[in-house]
Amino acid sequence: MNFRFTTAGESHGPGLVTIVEGLPAGLELDREALDRDMARRQLGHGRGGRMKIETDTVEIRTGVRHGKTLGSPIAALVANRDYKNWDERMNPWPVEADIPEITLPRPGHADLTGMWKYNQTDLRNILERASARETAARVAAGAIARAFLTAMGVTVRSHVTRIASVEAPERQDLKPEDFDGVDDDPVRCLDPEASARMVERINVLRKKNESLGGTFEVRVFGLVPGLGSHISWEDRLDGRLAQAICSIQSIKGASIGEAWDVASRPGSEAHDEIFWSEDRGWYRETNHAGGLEGGMTNGEPLSVRAAIKPISTMTKPLRSVDIKTREPAKAHKERTDSTVVPAAAVVGEAMICLVLAKCYREKFGGDHIDDVIGALDAYRDRIGWR
């Protein structure tokens, strides 16, 4: 079953669009749940002024009737409320106004390399699409995928584990209910003490015109074993998840489970021993692998971690060179955030939802949601999975 999605749109254009293909008919969507995920992407202490301008909502244009999917492609629009202030600068058609070009590339951004690759003289033709504003469309697509995963009995959550030098205590025993209220925390951290220190660190560095990076974790509960495959490199779920996470703007690394920690341990302390009992069926007492073995889910909670660099648009711009005059100058400055780690975790959820929805469609097929659930139930019975 060919499940896929794509996005289109620019940061300050009329809006962002996503098209999601390959979902079964009969899947019930909740408009409020879709908009709730959009609002979650805008959360977090350290966000900039644009979050006060945009109130993102999902406008479904095709593929859904009376709240249920039709099995046809779903097209969704996320309007840019701020476009009215950018109509001349971002109009699809020629305008009479003299629009100044941006010629000062930002270190760490797509500006300079994109200019070379696409033969541009105005960096706005690069930065508009490279902007993390594009992730609003991904979250819209991910919210649709999440509805499908929910029907499969799957729960996808996230939390911030580090901002700059402040790190939250490690939590291996997390359950879905432990994430209740995480969106109410100013940095979406599960540890109140660490959260307070993260907020303080943001405040200190923001006054110094700095941006901050950090790390987050996405946890997935309720997955059946056998999603992904060991058969070929492109089907291994580890690689698919890492590619999805690392495609998010500013993400520089991804890991599964306790990857960097188990690299230093002996094998007896790195692997998850296998047990079986009449009352529990198959189970593990540890989850060092983060729910993946041999490129496939093993039935334990999935753990995907990501590292995000400080964003490259600085309130006090770094040194650069004008692409036209070749003279040294300060880099271009756009409206920006101090940190986006809490929001990036929500985008991470969306990307994980999209990858896992594709896996469920590949494995269980079905033209109607009832067919998918029937195939899933039959598979669980065959392997004795409770």
**Between these two residues, 386 and 165, which has the higher pLDDT value?**
165
Q: Tell me the two tokens of residue 280.
A: 């529990």
Alpha helices in 134-184 (DSSP H): 135-151
Mean pLDDT of 137-153: 98
Residue written as token pair 């996470």: 245
Sorting pLDDT into bands at 50, 70 and 90, what band is 49?
low
Rg (CA), the chain: 22
**Between these two residues, 167 and 50, which has the higher pLDDT value?**
167
Longest dimension (CA), the chain: 76
- CA 111-112-115 angle, 5° bins: 85
DSSP count for the chain of H helices, then E strands:
11, 17
For residue 48, what pLDDT is reported?
A: 60
CA–CA gap between residue 248 and residue 271 (Å, rounded):
30
Dihedral class, residue 74 (left if φ above 0, else alpha if ψ from -120 to 50, else beta): beta
- CA 267-273-274 angle, 5° bins: 150
Whether the predicted pLDDT of 53 surpasses 60 = no
| Average pLDDT in the chain | 95
For residue 166, what pLDDT is reported?
A: 97
For residue 128, what pLDDT is reported?
A: 96
Residues 6+ away with beta carbon under 8 Å from 36: none
Per the DSSP assignment, residues forming a β-bridge with 179 are none
282 to 19, 144, 286: CA distances (angstroms): 39, 31, 13
Percent share of the chain, pLDDT over 70: 98
Whether the predicted pLDDT of 50 surpasses 70 = no
CATH architecture label of 4-89+102-383: 4-Layer Sandwich (3.60)
CA–CA gap between residue 56 and residue 59 (Å, rounded):
10
pTM: 0.95
For residue 308, what pLDDT is reported?
A: 97
Whether the predicted pLDDT of 1 surpasses 80 = no
Whether the predicted pLDDT of 52 surpasses 80 = no
DSSP state for residue 123 in the 8-state scheme: T
* Closest to 57 (Cα-Cα) out of 75, 76, 73, 74: 76
pLDDT digits (tens, 9 = 90+) for 75-101: 999 999 999 999 999 999 999 999 999
For residue 51, what pLDDT is reported?
A: 53
Whether the predicted pLDDT of 336 surpasses 90 = no
Whether the predicted pLDDT of 335 surpasses 80 = no
CA–CA gap between residue 379 and residue 374 (Å, rounded):
9
